[in-house]
Amino acid sequence: MFDVYRTYWRINLLTTLEYRANFLLWFGFTFVYHGSAVAALWIMLNNFPSMQGWDFRDMAFLYGLWMVAHALNATFFSTVDQIPEWIHDGEFDRFLVRPLDALYQVITTPGQVFPDELLLALAFLTVATIAGHLAVTPLFIVLVALVVAGGALIDLSINLLISTAAFWFVQVDALRWIALQLEQEFTRYPLTIYSRGVRLLLAFVIPFGFMNFFPATYFLHKTSNGLGLPTAIGALTPLIGIVFLAVAYTFWRAGLQRYQGVGH
Amino acid sequence: MLEAYVQFALKAIAREATYRFEVFTSIASLAVRVYLLRVVWVALYAHNAAPQGVALHTIITYSTIALLMGLVLDIDQTRLLHDKLHDGSIVVDFMKPISVPLYFFSDGTGEVLFHAALIVPSLALAAFIVHIDIPSAAVLAAFALSFFLGYFVGFFLNFILNCIAFWTLEISAVQLIVTWVTDLLGGQIVPLVFFPAALQGAIFALPFAAMYSTPLLIYVGRIPPEGYASAMGLQALWIVILGAAAALIWRAGARRVIVQGG
């Protein structure tokens, strides 16, 4: 099982080295994409003292937490996005006749994955942490690591839920697009700016709030998280990630069962 | 002769209309983004009256109109050129008794007209979420003209990018980079008047500002009527520069195709 995984990464990295110019262009894109988001935040907060008590340094840390969690998911589980396409083309069937779990096979299908975005995200979070004068203790490092891992699981779960919907509906691109947009834009600002309904939605229905906002309120010692709950709930991200993944995986198994039932 | 090009445009409209799901998502996503821009600016203005003399209702109007303009300006209307270079079918177009660049222009116009029509339902939906200031008819007319000029700046920019496919086939990363740069430096996300003063001179002179910022600043009255001539003059200048560049690149690229064809 681990052999498969090692071979998978070997192929990924070799493929990336093969298409060097292309890789550089995509890295340029990743850089500009995150760079323009952070630049926009910086320009906004240059003209205003803060957004509900969050200044640019706080917002940069908020963005950094999301960026690392998102990049972790994009680096290790990016192929989950391709499930609908494989179901559509009939390629998915080959996963069902091999003696390995179907989802594991999906995750280890080689592509052109390189941990460039992850490295960029880690660098950004480090800078944001130092600039934000956060006390970097061993406990802080362990907690941040657990939080971004939990955040990556939340991200993965959303993707898996959407991909699983493809067992029922042929077209899920639009759904994924909306979910991705909600995630990218709504995680950028403190949750306290939204109306109560939206806050609850982002906390417990689609728990994007646990990817960065709740942990950030905890790490930055903010007084309120907009839900009237203790800010320590921010440390629950790993747990939320596991629970949410369990929900997504159950749904995935149900979809798989149904798919076999149809007898493709 | 002109009739052929009208037909190309009509065909493009019909093609776009078949993507019903995409139409639904682009309107739904716009509504979500209008909600988001409202809460973000309201939260920022809570502790600051009017930085750079821009009032809250002005910035909300500005950002909403910017999103609606995006329905048209974010379209890569010459994508067909890239696709046809990719699969080689452009060779057939060169054999037809038509002007190939004009063909791409008509096709792109049809695509854009279809998306421009989506502004109407989107605007109606946005009006439920935010209050949009409506300027006088004269200002609206100036805005429309400036938006029209901005559209051509975007058209030539896209055309040039798609022409790169004559030399190298993989250009999607470059296009995405340009899209993000356009949104930021064009003033779609944050008005350029909020940018650091030292950078403003350079940013206002770039073609991206000619796409979004100029029409938007006319709409909200930041560019007064006496400034219309110079603002639109700069837009026109960009159209001439980018149009000339597009013509040169097209000619060089088209020659390549013919050389390869033997």
* Cβ pair A210, A151 in contact under 8 A: yes
8 Å CB contact of A22 and B190: no
Q: Is A262 an interface residue toward B (CB < 8 Å)?
A: no
Spacing of C-alpha A151 from chain mean position: 6
Region B236-243: mean pLDDT is 96
| Chain A residues inside the 8 Å CB shell of B33 | 181, 185
Across the interface, do B184 and A39 touch by the CB < 8 Å criterion? yes
How many CA atoms lie within 13 Å of B114's alpha carbon, on the beta-carbon side? 22
**Residue of chain A nearest B32, judged by CA positions:** A182
User: Given an 8 Å threshold on Cβ–Cβ distance, is B173 in contact with A50?
Assistant: no
User: Which among B44, B52, B173 is the nearest to A25, CB-wise?
Assistant: B173
Which residues on B lie below 8 Å from A55 (Cβ)? none
pLDDT of amino acid B260? 54
Which single residue is written with the structure tokens 């682009």?
A: B26
| Domain housing B82 | 2-260
Place B164 in a pLDDT band, splitting at 50, 70 and 90. Answer: confident
Residue A79: name the closest of A182, A183, A9, A170 by CA: A9
Across residues A72-86, what is the average pLDDT? 89
> Is residue B86's pLDDT more than 80?
no
Q: Residue window 169-188, chain A: list those with CB within 8 Å of chain B.
A: 171, 173-174, 177-178, 181-182, 185-186
Domain that holds residue A226: 2-262
pLDDT at position A110 over 90: no
Band of residue B258 on the pLDDT scale cut at 50, 70, 90: low
* Bigger pLDDT: A132 vs A17: A132
Distance (Å) from the alpha carbon of A187 to chain B's nearest alpha carbon: 11
- Cβ A48–B51 below 8 Å, yes or no? yes
A28 interaction partners in chain B (CB closer than 8 Å): 173, 177
Lowest mean pLDDT among A53-67, A93-107, B63-77, B233-247: A93-107
Residues of B in contact with A39 (CB under 8 A): 184
Residue A75: count of CB within 10 angstroms of its CB: 18
Give B174's contacts in chain A (Cβ within 8 Å).
25
- Chain B residues with beta carbon closer than 8 angstroms to that of A32: 177, 180-181
Asked if B40 lies within 8 A of A51 by C-beta distance, the reply is yes
How far CA B50 is from CA of A53, A90, B59, B128, in Å, comes to 18, 57, 10, 24
Q: Do A174 and B25 touch (CB under 8 A)?
A: yes
Answer positive or negative: Cα dihedral of A188, A191, A197, A202: positive
Which pLDDT band holds residue A168 (cuts at 50, 70, 90)?
A: confident
Band (pLDDT 50/70/90 cuts) for residue B234 is: very high
- At A155-164, the pLDDT tens digits run 999 999 999 9
The rounded distance, in Å, linking the Cα atoms of B50 and B4 is 52
Number of domains comprising chain B: 1
pLDDT the model gives residue A85: 85
Q: How far is A68 from chain B (nearest CA, A)?
A: 20
Interface test with A, best of B18, B23, B24, B29 (most A CBs within 10 A): B29
Q: How far is B99 from chain A (nearest CA, A)?
A: 33
pLDDT at residue B175, as a whole number? 85
Does residue A51 come out as left (phi exceeding 0), alpha (psi in the -120 to 50 range) or beta?
A: beta
Residue of B nearest to A51 (CA): B44
Q: Mean of the pLDDT values across residues B203-226?
A: 94
- What is residue B262's predicted lDDT score, i.e. its pLDDT? 42
Q: What is the predicted pLDDT for the residue at B169? A: 65
Total count of domains within chain A: 1
Q: Using a pLDDT cut of 90, give the percent of chain B over it.
A: 47
Residue B152, min C-alpha distance to chain A (Å): 24
Confidence bin at A260 (pLDDT 50/70/90): low
Question: Rounded mean pLDDT of chain A?
Answer: 88
Nearest to A47 among B24, B189, B194 (CB): B194
Question: A43–B194: do the CB atoms touch at under 8 Å?
Answer: yes
Asked if the model's pLDDT at residue A264 lies above 50, the reply is no
For A13-71, the pLDDT digits (tens) are 887 777 777 788 888 889 999 999 999 999 999 888 888 889 999 999 999 999 999 99
